[in-house]
Amino acid sequence: MEKKQNIRQISDLGEFGLIDHLTSDLKIRHKELVKSIGDDAAVFESGNECTLVTTDLLVEGVHFNLIYTPLKHLGYKAVVVNLSDLYAMNATPKYITVSIALSSKFSVEAIDELYEGIKLACDRFNVDLIGGDTTSSLSGLFISISAIGTAKKEDIVYREGAAKNDLICVSGDLGGAYMGLQLLEREKKLFLSDTEIQPKLDGYEYVIERQLKPEPRRDIIESLKNAEIKPSSMIDISDGLSSELLHLCKHSDLGCKIYEDKIPINPQTIAVSEMFRLDPSLPALNGGEDYELLFTVPLSKKEEIEKIKDISIIGYMCDKKEGKYFVPRNGQDLKLKAQGWNPL
């Protein structure tokens, strides 16, 4: 009798488990490839510099909702989330390709609006749009953007490379994008229940902009270069601080300890979190889509890092045996867990 095959659900693996499953047996065929799957971008040698390539797919109903997302903002965001990956590897973005799948509900004018945002991002970050593809869709809008950048081989920063006692640093503030999403979702539900209701979003501009129009931290990369500081490891925060820090720990084979009172949170994020009866540290740890930079530097760079605007030191890397912990203001140390958004 033939043995019944055990069928696994994709959701059992999760996004990163699925990636590992699909790519674990891939072989490297070209000697120019420096870094394959497993970081913010792939890296291969190209003349005197390295070329870096990254790609993201945004799906209507999964990554964005057009009830509250202006198409111009969506076009801008679709580009900058890719540029953020390149900045997270200390590279300079140069080119993008854009592929879109459209349903019949979209007019030419609507797509013009989407491309206004794409072109604005290209102008702002000195990037050329060099190609892509268009096709039809039976289920809304799909946007796939690939970004290409360059860097000297010795300047590239990977997720691996952190050392014991390295300081854990983060740019900007965290949790705002998630709380902006909660506000938009609340107003969407009210609107769907009564289309006469007007959204109440005055006073919440900061967190809403963090969700709809994030900005990649090119300025932080420039500040670090000006200070002659090269991070030992780095990643951008798209899936939440906890998830990204665990990536750095995994790739560097280390543990970590971060402190609640050191995590930067904007006052408006705190206010909105409290309105939703959430501890502000929860969206900061697990919310995602902030697109800030999380990186490590040697302890010897502490004084120099403290002089750079908009960077916070939130903890340190430790021996793997010491574990991975979040230290609350009051109470017992908690094991750090990745509880961010998982699309699968």
From first to last of its 344 residues, what are the pLDDT tens digits of the chain? 455 567 777 666 655 566 566 555 566 665 778 877 777 889 999 888 999 999 999 999 999 999 999 999 999 999 999 999 999 999 999 999 999 999 999 999 999 999 999 999 999 999 999 999 999 999 899 999 999 999 999 999 999 999 999 999 999 999 999 999 999 999 999 888 877 777 788 899 999 999 999 999 999 999 999 999 999 999 999 999 999 999 999 999 999 999 999 999 999 999 999 999 999 999 999 999 999 999 999 999 999 999 999 999 999 999 999 999 999 998 789 999 887 544 44
User: Do 126 and 185 fall within a single domain?
Assistant: no
Q: If you count them, how many residues does the chain have?
A: 344
Segments forming the whole domain that contains residue 286: 167-335
User: Do 174 and 316 fall within a single domain?
Assistant: yes
User: Do 203 and 97 fall within a single domain?
Assistant: no
Please identify, among 155, 185, 204, the residue that sits at the C-terminal boundary of a domain: 155
User: Do 140 and 178 fall within a single domain?
Assistant: no
Give the closest residue to 167 by CA, choosing from 318, 307, 322.
318
Please identify, among 132, 155, 178, the residue that sits at the C-terminal boundary of a domain: 155
Into how many domains does the chain fold?
Answer: 2
On whether residue 162 sits in a domain, the answer given is no
CA 108, CA 115: separation in Å to the nearest integer? 11
Phi, then psi, of 207 in degrees rounded to 5: -70, -30
CA 191, CA 185: separation in Å to the nearest integer? 10
User: Do 310 and 237 fall within a single domain?
Assistant: yes
SS3 98: strand
CATH code of the domain covering residue 149: 3.30.1330.10
CA 264, CA 313: separation in Å to the nearest integer? 9
On whether residue 43 sits in a domain, the answer given is yes
128 burial via Cβ count (<10 Å: 0-12, 13-18, 19+): exposed
Please identify, among 127, 155, 183, the residue that sits at the C-terminal boundary of a domain: 155
On whether residue 91 sits in a domain, the answer given is yes
Contact 90, 221 (CB under 8 A): yes
